[in-house]
Amino acid sequence: MQEEIIDDIELLLNVLPAEIRKALDAANRKEELLEVVLDLGRLPEARFSTTEALLSQREITHEELEFVASRIGEFGEDNRAGIERTLHRISAIRNRKGHIVGLTCRIGRAVYGTVDIIRDIVESGKNILLLGRPGVGKTTMLREVARILADNKRVIVVDTSNEIAGDGDIPHPAIGKARRMQVPTPSLQHEVMIEAVENHMPEVIIIDEIGRQLEAEAARTIAERGVQLIGTAHGNTLDNLMMNPTLCDLVGGIQAVTLSDEEARRRHTQKSVLERKAPPTFDVVIEIQDWQRLAVRHDVAEAVDAILRARSLPAEMRYRDEEGEIHREEAVIQTLADRNGVSTTQTAPPWEETPPARHARTVRIFPYGISQNRLRQAARGLQLPIILVPDMGEAEAVITLRSYYRRRPRVVTNAERRGLPVYVLRSNTVPQMEQGLLDIYGIEHGDIDDPHTRAIKETQTAIERIVSGGASSVELAPQNSYTRRLQHQLARESDLLSRSRGKEPRRRVRIYANNTLG
């Protein structure tokens, strides 16, 4: 099915000041228009899908803001308003006296055909949670899900900000036969969710932006009553949602568990681990990466357990090509722990081997008292093949921390008696582990010239400049989140301040002298 887009954009343009409307007409890019931003005392701006453009060289006045506000619906407690029977949303910024000083006019579009890529999942009757960054199409997809399911089922849309079914008392045709319940104020969204189940006998409830603890609890109540629940939540990915203490209950919640000595030895992990504490509210999680590509976690319980155990669990990737054909393939989705080099809980089996690397010789290492996940991350970053073994008798080297080595435990003395080299780290950090691995392989830092190493060198050089008084601050080149984390860590170890700036993929770190920031 080809996508069909209905946006009623002329109705939104009619509420704008004449000069701004003429500028938009002259730009002739209405199909790409996402937002019109009007801020008091600033130049009006249009935001398109790939660029931004000024609409006038004259600053916005109070009168122009009032002109727009008087031609749209009333603003709710969430400072959102709309235009009756359209999907457009106008959001206000107010000063401390409650007067409007800024407006964001967002174009609402009903896109028919977007749900085809997940139609089999939607019609399966499972509870589905959609995740993704703002503007990626979550609400658009919810809208069409409501229309498709309402042909055969009783569907109720809980519409907190009138964003799904539009402003006014009559719902937008984009939701089909689905019924819409409006929410008087966002803080009462959970009550309307429960009211919908108790009063109107729905088979499906659709809810946008589950963001509070009470709403998460209401969602679980609805799921337990056998009603299909389809919603969206704040979060880009599943592991990102798991780290949100308010919303992690949607995927079962996480609790710390202390294992017995025998169970810890069986799992080859520490005694204190994190585990899922309940069945997930949602059966399926769909991570929307962009308008034409998404990742499907068909079994949320299994996916959460795999992330907590630092295992790679393939997800189903679905995407639509330029001809509109839908493709499916299996792929391993990188978790937050992988990206940041931090373990969220217990480690994977310690005999697991790191991926093949540039150096042919594989070293078998017995880690004692250090994070095995971080050690694997360090090996991957340096492209050094290692195998972490559970028995020192199988090892070629031992790595431990200085605090353990000073105590002279039996592991250390036995290793030295057998002639095994013992490498001692100052701290349980990835940079220290990288240095230890380089020592094991007899490699100098200069022998490895990859982007990660260059970024670390750049950071060290910047720190030296600031410490020596040659600069009060230095901005580093853009890097991925894992490398930025290491850069922040190096700055802290040198008693310096650091901040991340910009947006992906140009997000970067700036390092400051300790007395630069107040």
pLDDT in tens, 283-340: 999 999 888 899 999 999 989 988 887 776 778 999 988 888 898 887 655 544 444 4
Read off the pLDDT of residues 17-53 as tens digits, 9 standing for 90 and up: 999 999 999 988 888 899 999 999 999 999 998 889 9
65 pLDDT higher than 50: yes
For residues 336 and 357, give the distance between their C-alpha atoms in angstroms, rounded to a whole number. 22
Do 148 and 115 meet the contact criterion of CB atoms below 8 Å apart? yes
How far is 480 from 21, CA to CA, in rounded Å?
Answer: 40
128 token code pair: 């589905």
Per residue in 213-240, pLDDT tens?
Answer: 999 999 999 988 889 999 998 788 888 8
d(CA 64, CA 433): 60
Band of residue 157 on the pLDDT scale cut at 50, 70, 90: very high
Q: d(Cα 18, Cα 34) in Å, to the nearest integer?
A: 19
Q: Sorting pLDDT into bands at 50, 70 and 90, what band is 344? A: very low
Instruction: List pLDDT tens digits, range 396-445.
Output: 899 999 888 888 888 888 888 888 889 999 888 888 888 888 888 877 65
- What pTM did the predictor assign? 0.62
2-6, 60-64, 119-123, 171-175: the lowest-pLDDT one: 2-6
Cβ neighbors of 153 (< 8 A, separation 6 or more) are 203, 204, 228
Place of tokens 């568990």: 257
Q: What is the pLDDT of residues 177-187, one digit of tens each?
A: 999 999 988 89
DSSP string of 388-430, one letter each residue: E-SSGGG-SEEEEEHHHHHH--HHHHHHHHHT--EEEESSSSH
Q: What is the full DSSP assignment across 342-389? A: --SSPPPPTTPBPPP-SSS--EEEEEESS-HHHHHHHHHHHT--EEE-
